Structure 1
Amino acid sequence: MSLLVAYDASWPAMAQAEATRWRENVMGLVTVHHIGSTAIPGMPAKSVIDLLPVFADAAAADAAQSAVETMGYEWMGAFGLEGRRYCRNFDPETGQRRVHAHAYVQGHAGIRRHLAFRDALLGNAPLRVAYASVKAACAGRHPDGGVGYQDCKSAWIAKTEARALETLK
């Protein structure tokens, strides 16, 4: 199985359904965004939905752990990024990852960074082509994904995020 798959037109509906599940089961949310490559029409991606739940405050975010775990997520805490609450959900039948949730408290810079990157890709076809090329090259070098795949893409993503954030100023 390839690390990346062709864009699936069902991803936005899947993300919306999962975001609705979050809103119905987790108190203290302001909103839930669909981010990552599955949010970019036409973009090849790992078949994992990335969500960005935004909490009203730190107390609500921390209190959400039990509800999130009850929904079948593994609560990973910051998982290397200060201020984030990272959670992942697996398909109970296949064991494959279904959803990554990168939760932040309203106002955290991580929210702006994720949304700026997503929106830059949505609004710029040549940038999408370039990112698809980077992803393909990194998947070729790191077919099992993981940290190697993430590290391979990180410099390109950081540069693109920085440019996207500059345009917001």
Structure 2
Amino acid sequence: MIHRKVKVVFHDPAWGEAFEAEAAALRSVLGDEALAIHHIGSTSVPGLAAKPTIDVLVEVRKIGSVDDFDGAMIEKGYEAWGEYGIPGRRFFTKNRGPARTHNVHVFEAGTPEVERHLAFRDYLREHTQTALAYGNLKKDLAEKFPADMESYMVGKDAFIKLTESEALSWNRAPKGTS
């Protein structure tokens, strides 16, 4: 069981700046191995309520090469978790005391996981009613499970899976159609 407090807050425009600062730090560690660095998750969607944790997706040339950077990531304050439940991913977290400040998801460029994360983010940015419903769900779950991160995450699962499916179809549709 995950023992972190569940806190969902109104969107903070400073999250974009926090992402940019972290992206610069990640570029300094990963160098040319990082092909692209994206702000994902709820903090990347304007107006969406979120846990104040910046999610970052890094696309790299070769996922196996990322393991060579574990030491440098630890020096930057990250904890390395390996794949952490998603094959082909490298996952890092940064905490400030008991609060998690950043999640870094690293995938090899061109994998379905990259498309899935970016499509979900872009779909929520374009579909404000869906984003609002998601934010309301998260606020309700945080209120219901303030000390149970696992139950909070399980409570979001069906909504996320449905929205991801819609987002991938939307993302793959020819532009100019829904």
Same fold (TM over 0.5): yes
1:106 to partner: Cα distance: 0.9
Counterparts of 1:136 and 1:54, CA distance in 2: 30
Higher relative contact order (CA 8 A, sep 6+): 2
Is 1:37 equivalent to 2:36 in the alignment? no
Counterparts of 2:171 and 2:131, CA distance in 1: 19
Q: 2:88 aligns with which of 78, 83, 86?
A: 83
Q: 1:61 aligns with which of 46, 55, 66?
A: 66
Name stretches of at least 5 consecutive residues in structure 2 with no aligned partner. Answer: 173-178
Contact 1:61 1:105 (8 Å CA) reproduced? no
Is 1:113 equivalent to 2:139 in the alignment? no
Is 1:165 equivalent to 2:168 in the alignment? yes
1:143 to partner: Cα distance: 1.2
Cα deviation 1:106-155 (Å, max 9, x = unaligned): 11211111100000000111111111121122212211242211111011
Question: Normalising by the residue count of structure 1, what TM-score does the alignment of the two structures yield?
Answer: 0.93
What is the CA RMSD across the aligned residues, in angstroms?
1.5
Counterpart of 1:20 in structure 2 is 24
Cα deviation 1:79-127 (Å, max 9, x = unaligned): 1111111110012xx4421101111111121111110000000011111
Contact 1:61 1:104 (8 Å CA) reproduced? no
Name stretches of at least 5 consecutive residues in structure 1 with no aligned partner. Answer: none
Residues 53/5 of structure 1: CA separation in 2 closer, same or farther (3 Å cut): same
Aligned length: 167
Counterparts of 1:5 and 1:125, CA distance in 2: 17
Counterpart of 1:139 in structure 2 is 142
Runs of 4 or more above 4 Å deviation: none
Percent identity at matched positions?
Answer: 32
Q: 1:4 aligns with which of 2, 5, 8?
A: 8
**1:61 is aligned with what amino acid?**
V
Contact 1:88 1:101 (8 Å CA) reproduced? yes
Is 1:122 equivalent to 2:125 in the alignment? yes
1:158 to partner: Cα distance: 0.7
Is 1:72 equivalent to 2:77 in the alignment? yes
Counterpart of 1:104 in structure 2 is 107
Counterparts of 2:102 and 2:166, CA distance in 1: 27
Question: Normalising by the residue count of structure 2, what TM-score does the alignment of the two structures yield?
Answer: 0.88
Q: Which sits farther off after the overlay, 147-156 or 1-10?
A: 1-10
